[in-house]
Amino acid sequence: MPALLPSLTGGVGGGSVGGGSYTMGRAFEYRKAAKLKRWGHMAKTFTKLGKQIAIAVKAGGPDPDMNPTLRGIIATCKRENMPKDNIDRAIKNAMGKDQSDYKGMTYEGYGPHGIAIFVDTLTDNPTRTVADVRSVFNKFAGNLGTMGSLAFLFDHKCVFTFKKKDGIDMDELILDLIDYGVEDEYDEDEEEGTITIYGDPKSYGAIQKHLEEQGFEDVGGEFTYIPNDLKDVTPEQRESIDKMVERLEEFDDVQTVYTNMKPEA
């Protein structure tokens, strides 16, 4: 499943297990800012989620009970208030013979003021998509690089958000999850009553399965890129970078745009 606006390198802005929960850490705030931008328009949100459903169905089948990736996407759909009819329709469409095969493609480069920009897409026409992305980089005097050129600036993570159970000992839970590739940092959103954990993308399935076996419901997971160093910008610079990001997000093929720009306070 696919998803650069979060930031995390060896820490989320808290302590370690045993030192208390990571309430509203730096990575959490960064991902929250990214999410607000990402899901700013409901129609585009549902279109993007529909593509994710299509890929999951084609890869693992239409039965959520047998397809953990699809199950995770459906949980995300529910959190984003996507109607059940829309979810069922997306699954049915993905099973059709005439449906296009979407591929996950990433594009990376530098935008204005040296800000690193990573564009995560799902596309049935890479030639069209790369032309669209390149046109925006050119318009904003940016430079589209080769795949992997920004790998050193971002960490690839899988991220799971789930409802916190009453009486749960988070230290014990995290220590248990470490065996499944989860890091010992987590974020707790007291307002939403949710926990967010970070892990090795290769362990996505194992982490999700273990959380569900432990009785956590609607375990929604995603993949994300988290910058390991945030860059300060002036208000004027932020405005031009935001315009570039907004232009990229207008394309239906674009799922998420990540940057290493420091979130606005």
Average pLDDT of the chain to the nearest whole number: 81
What confidence category does residue 41 fall into, taking pLDDT thresholds of 50, 70 and 90?
Answer: low
pTM across the whole model = 0.74
Q: Residue 262: is its pLDDT beyond 50?
A: yes
pLDDT tens, residue by residue, 178-200: 988 898 888 888 888 888 899 99
In 3-state terms, what secondary structure has residue 200? Answer: coil
Map the chain to HEC letters: CCCCCCCCCCCCCCCCCCCCCCECCHHHHHHHHHHHHHCCCHHHHHHHHHHHHHHHHHHHCCCCCCCHHHHHHHHHHHHCCCCHHHHHHHHHHHCCCCCCCCEEEEEEEECHHHCEEEEEEEECCHHHHHHHHHHHHHHCCCEECCCCCCHHHEEEEEEEEEECCCCCCHHHHHHHHHCCCEEEEEEEECCCCEEEEEECHHHHHHHHHHHHHCCCCCCEEEEEEEECCCECCCHHHHHHHHHHHHHHHCCCCEEEEEECECCCC
Give the mean model confidence (pLDDT) for residues 92-107.
78
Q: Residue 238: is its pLDDT beyond 90?
A: yes
Compute the distance between CA of residue 185 and CA of residue 195 in angstroms, rounded to an integer: 11
Give the mean model confidence (pLDDT) for residues 27-55.
68
What pLDDT is recorded for position 18? Answer: 37
What pLDDT is recorded for position 98? Answer: 53
What confidence category does residue 101 fall into, taking pLDDT thresholds of 50, 70 and 90?
Answer: confident
Q: Residue 14: is its pLDDT beyond 50?
A: no
Give the mean model confidence (pLDDT) for residues 230-252.
93
